[in-house]
Chain A
Amino acid sequence: MIPFQFEYYKPTTVKEAVSLYKTLAIRGKEPMYFSGGTEIITLGRLNNIYTEAVIDIKDINDCMVQKFDDKHLYLGAALSLTQIESNDLFPLLSKVSREVADHTARTKITLGGNICGNIFYREAVLPFLLANSTVLIASEDGIKALPINDIFNKELQLDDGEMLIQLVTDKKYLDASHIAIKRRRQWDAGYPVISIAALKIENTIRLAISGLTEYPFRSQQLEQIINNRSITTDSRIQYFIENVPTPILNDTEGSDKYRQFVLKNTLKDIISELEGV
């Protein structure tokens, strides 16, 4: 049960949505864009988030897009994770997505919600970081396109009232060799101890990590280390671990030391899977 009252709006255009946001913000409603609603429900009932107005973006066609043009794949922010998995247009994304929450929840959780939400694992962003995707962001001033690696720093750096519409990915990444490994505290349900997505393009491994720190990240420096074939795999992994951002998470999913252990083995698997191909 959500202990606060809020207004509900369901615009049909991006323009309408952003202007609604502005009006509601001026009225002091602390508005929120939403689609699946899983965080509004689960965090709202615990008083961890608060809003007096929600703007449902599911009826906005631009947010529900799944299409190709000559060069790019366009995925709308309001697509549910299960929609993304069943169409499987971006195989690495499907793999990462299938490991998020459980199937029932993923019929509600959306791409944009997973990336922009409060729960910090945000695993759906990992493949886009690797593919240097472009994000389309709407605001009062119109729609802008930005490289995700510029605007995603721990989280998507959106200004108040800005809204993620689509993620645009160069087709060449869709067929790249890839691997996604998610390791949990125990068995196959739960948040990650570590979740890594990796792909190989132009003979270089790229990888992005969630669960190691309080935010997902991709690091050029770490990728250089992992691709440095002049030293042994073990040394590369050791340098990698020495150079990961700190602090490493130390929580109910796993201790920081254990996460390093898991990271070590996961990196081994990624290298052995991708280096040969």
Chain B
Amino acid sequence: MTIIGKSVVRKEAEEKVSGRAKYTNDYNSSSFLHGKAVISTCAHAKIKEVDTKEAEKLTGVRAVLTGTPHVLTGEEIRDRPPIAYDKVRFHGEVIAVVVADNPIIAKQGASLIKVDYEALPVVNSPREAIKKDAPLVHEDVSKYERDDGANPIPKSNISNYFRIRKGNVSHGWSESDVRIEMEFSFHPSDHIAMETRAVTAEIKPNGYLYITSSSQAPYMIKKLLSSYFNIEEGKIIVNTPLVGGGYGGKASVQLEILAYLASKAVGGRPVKMINSREEDMITSPCHVGLDARIKLGSTKNGYLKVAEIQYLFDGGAYSDKAVHLCRAGGVDCTGPYYIENIWCDSYSVYTNHPYPAPYRGFSHSEVLSAFERAMDILAKKLQIDPLELREKNAILPGHTTPTQVRLNSSTVGNLPECIKRLKNRMNWHEGTRQEISERIVRQKGISCVWKNSTIPTDSSSGAILTFNEDGSINLISGVVEIGTGTKTVLAQMLAEKLKMNVNNIHVKMTVDTQTTPEHWKTVASRGTFMAGRAVLAAADDVIRKLKGITSQVLRVNPDDLAVGNMRVFIREEPEIGLHFHEISHGYTYPNGNAIGGQIIGSGTYIQSRMTNLDPETGAGRPGPEWAVGAQGVEIEFDKRDYTYKIIKAVSILDVGKVLNYKGARGQVVGAMSMGIAFGGRETFIFDTEGRVLNPQLRTYRPLYYGDHPEYVVDFIETPHLDAPYGARGVGEQGLLGMPAALANALSEAANVSLHNLPITPELIWWEKEGNKQ
């Protein structure tokens, strides 16, 4: 291979580093009106009155929208009015939208709207939500319209109940010599993408709806708006320019709905809505919280026999993606281990918190934070080295997963090899603890990870290839360039396949749902896999067509032709052939006769052999492959102050095949830093009334330059045979084990078992001394 694996510079790099790259909010027009939301200051309250009179009087205000009972939205359960009606259910919920001539008037108008609330009792955690006498966030969830996959419990705060029943749990307990039981929890937080969400919507006089959005899911915007508002799908056209980071947060459809309603309220004129950072954090969907309870049983030699698990996902005030997050958390409810007997109840639960979007890893970092902490607790009880415990139980080809899929090396990769490499890269044989001084201890902590996607069984992707007169190729795919460099990797795949220079492949960066073939959603590390397969299929189509016309011109059998360096040539006489520019737009004979025509290649991919999950046992095939890995951190901990620094963070990931080395490393390091921030610093802090006290970057702080450790990233390559060049997903894995590795290192260093994220010095102080005062 010549191009696969190379660190090809991403095709949009120059635009980005020069500051010329354009994102949704960079497109302006004097014809735009501007919308501004008024958001709730209460977490749960009856809306007694929304007084819009002053705002409506303001010169330049064109419309003021408030809630109505008519339309409910939500991905699997339709429980959410786009603008709160009658009640607000979380701090940050939209209560009104002001549309005005410019953003300043819109903001002034928004500040003139007065809301009269009557406070209602608040559900402030998932555990509280499932108590018998808990206030109901929704009066009766079962009355909402819903998809077949959603399984709410009537007249409760449970919006989805998903279970795994594998093997025989009581049998597992009877085989166990040692058992542990633990709880683990963390609050919701946020993605903090650099670009806050932005949308423009315009309804043309002919009824066509044009949306431009900073979205990971333009095709889903089209589908959902069509279904919510009964608009013909063909009349909805969604554009996505470059997107400034998504991390799952931009896979939810929310601001688009408001922009559409706002445009409709002003006769279809284009309306732009952008989130302030505060709105992007709490009004638009956030990162899910979790309360977990895990029981593990093992033999005295450290072989896991049983896992009994309860996950309560903090679904916030509206179910949206929480239903799916809860299912994904159930599907991979354990770490990457072979456990014969598994019982898992996974719930998404209504609370009066901001509601979640997907978050990089889609429930896997959340579940692994709890489960991998439980593994260390078990190792300690067994007095076994924590890596050895994981090695003993590592899931292998031939084993079955919690959803009872029997694995092979293509579908699971090589976890033991990852563990072995981790040991080596962390100098595990030197020991895990080193006393540096009286106060400072250096400590290692680890976690294993796995990740599969649980996207719909029929998810698909398409690609189109067209030619320029010079024979260069345009590559058109529905993958949104959210900063992952996927479109450049697709060009590399095509260049590899056609044995040509990647510089002669031009990638269409933006997506337009009318002309770009659909890619389900740019999520779940499925870009290189599904879009990659579509591109390779399109390449086959192009090759067949190129050979077809060449065989006519050269009067040879197409099977005797080969393609390379933008030429189609006779395999045994390579000097005889035609350049792409001679055939890609038809071949013209010296006398002027022409044959063929322009060549357009197309290719599609649909996931194959995925199955729905059995509602009783969860059994089924949720996604194409599990990518596995092992991760660790080395920290220096101050035993007096309970402060710590992360010195080194290590990821050994089985990525199947590295497609673009620096791109892959960048993805992994970025994900690791996000995991470190999730584990060590980022969280919403709620008051007793359920309000978020830190919805600002002043007080909610992601990692800064100086906070980063040394990053060590190594790749194992066990091919996933279904995937282009064997590559597994690489966008999410780096995040997944970081919080658990950190929690494990700090629990050892501080000699206290930690059960919450993020782990701040205050949390450790609380566990060591504060709670005893």
Contacts and interface: CB of A to CB of B under 8 A. Distances in A.
Contact of A265 (B103, B641, B693): B641
Nearest to A265: B641
Contacts of A252: 685, 693-694, 699
A265 B640 contact: yes
A189 B681 CA distance: 11
A254 B111 CA distance: 31
A47 interface: yes
Interface in A246-274: 251-255, 257-258, 261-262, 265
Contacts of A185: 681, 760-762
A187 B681 contact: yes
Contacts of A102: 704
Contacts of A4: 108
A276 interface: no
Interface in A25-40: none
A258 B693 contact: no
Interface residues of B, number: 31
B704 A189 contact: yes
B706 interface: yes
A187 B707 contact: yes
Contacts of A142: none
Nearest to B685: A252
A255 B693 CA distance: 13
A45 B36 CA distance: 13
Interface in A151-209: 183, 185-191, 193
A277 interface: no
A189 B707 contact: yes
Contact of A3 (B104, B699, B707, B765): B104
Nearest to B105: A3
A189 B706 contact: yes
A46 B39 CA distance: 13
A258 B761 CA distance: 9
B759 to A, nearest CB: 9
A255 B704 CA distance: 23
Contacts of B278: 46
Nearest to B760: A186
Interface in B641-682: 641, 643, 645, 680-681
Contacts of B701: 186, 189-190
B765 A261 contact: yes
Contacts of B108: 3-4
A185 B699 CA distance: 10
A187 B104 CA distance: 37
Given A47-B111, A258-B770, A186 B103 contact: no
A188 B706 contact: yes
A183 B643 CA distance: 9
Contacts of B707: 187-189
Nearest to B278: A46
A231 interface: no
A47 B113 CA distance: 14
Contact of B761 (A186, A188, A251): A186
A3 B111 contact: yes
Contacts of A253: 699
A189 B769 CA distance: 25
Nearest to B646: A187
B754 to A, nearest CB: 14
A264 to B, nearest CB: 10
Contact of A1 (B103, B640, B693, B760): B103
A255 B104 CA distance: 38
Contacts of B80: none
Question: Which among B706, B762, B765 has the highest number of chain A CB atoms within 10 Å?
Answer: B762
Nearest to A268: B640
Contacts of B761: 185-186
A4 B107 CA distance: 9
Contacts of B680: 186-187
B229 interface: no
Interface string B74-116: 0000000000000000000000000000011001100100000
B681 A186 contact: yes
A265 B762 CA distance: 13
A107 to B, nearest CB: 15
A261 B107 contact: no
B230 interface: no
B428 interface: no
Given A1-B107, A3-B108, A187 B704 contact: yes
A101 to B, nearest CB: 10
Contacts of B770: 255, 257-258, 261
Contact of B765 (A42, A188, A258): A258
A3 B107 contact: yes
Given A257-B770, A258-B765, A191 B103 contact: no
B773 interface: yes
A243 B362 CA distance: 50
B228 interface: no
A1 B769 CA distance: 45
Contacts of A251: 693
B758 interface: yes
A257 B276 CA distance: 34
Nearest to B683: A252
B704 A258 contact: no
Nearest to A189: B704
A258 B762 contact: yes
Interface in A115-174: none
B72 to A, nearest CB: 31
B585 to A, nearest CB: 50
B557 to A, nearest CB: 66
B768 to A, nearest CB: 10
B659 to A, nearest CB: 33
A270 to B, nearest CB: 14
Interface string A11-52: 000000000000000000000000000000010011100000
B769 to A, nearest CB: 7
Contacts of A190: 699, 701
A102 B681 CA distance: 17
Nearest to B759: A186
A6 to B, nearest CB: 12
A154 B366 CA distance: 43
Interface in B746-773: 758, 760-762, 765-766, 769-770, 773
Contacts of A3: 104, 107-108, 111
A100 B603 CA distance: 55
A12 to B, nearest CB: 30
Given A186-B680, A188-B706, A257 B685 contact: no
A133 to B, nearest CB: 28
Nearest to B699: A252
Nearest to B770: A257
Interface string B678-699: 0011000100000001100011
Contacts of A265: 640-641
A255 B706 contact: no
Contacts of B645: 187
A21 B758 CA distance: 47
B100 to A, nearest CB: 11
B762 A254 contact: yes
Given A1-B104, A187-B681, A255 B762 contact: yes
Contacts of B762: 185, 193, 254-255, 258
28 contacts: A1-B107, A3-B104, A3-B108, A3-B111, A42-B698, A45-B276, A47-B111, A102-B704, A183-B643, A185-B761, A186-B680, A186-B681, A186-B701, A186-B761, A187-B704, A188-B704, A189-B701, A189-B704, A191-B698, A251-B693, A252-B693, A252-B694, A252-B699, A255-B770, A258-B762, A258-B765, A258-B770, A261-B765
Closest 3 CB pairs of A and B: A3-B107, A189-B704, A186-B681
Given A42-B698, A102-B704, A188-B706, 4 more contacts: A1-B103, A3-B111, A183-B641, A187-B706
Interface of B: 103-104, 107-108, 111, 276, 278, 640-641, 643, 645, 680-681, 685, 693-694, 698-699, 701, 704, 706-707, 758, 760-762, 765-766, 769-770, 773
